[in-house]
Amino acid sequence: MIDRSTAQEWLTWSFSPSISAILITLLVSILSPILIHLYLYHKRTVTTVPSFLVLGPSGAGKTSLLTLVSSQQN
C-alpha cells in the first residue's frame, strides 16, 4: 500500500518547477500517444482492398467500362 506521505511527496515533486519534473512530464506527454498508437495498431488486422488504375486517353470509354463492371457486381 502507498503511504500517504509518499504520495504527497511525489505529487509535490511532480508539480515543482524542477528540470527533472519538466523532463519526465515532457517524456510522458510525447511517448504516451505513441505507445497507445502502437498498442492499438498491433491489435487491429490490416485489410487491403483490391484496386486497379484505369488509364487511357479522353473518350476511350474508361467510365463506361467501370460502370459496366460495377453494375455486374451488384
Report if pTM > 0.85: no
Number of compact structural domains in the chain: 1
Tens of pLDDT along 19-55? 988 898 899 999 999 999 888 877 666 677 778 888 8
Task: Strands of 1-74 (E only): list them.
Answer: none
pLDDT at 59 over 80: yes
DSSP string, 7-46: HHHHHHHHTS--HHHHHHHHHHHHHHHHHHHHHHHHHSPP
Domain enclosing residue 46, as ranges: 4-73
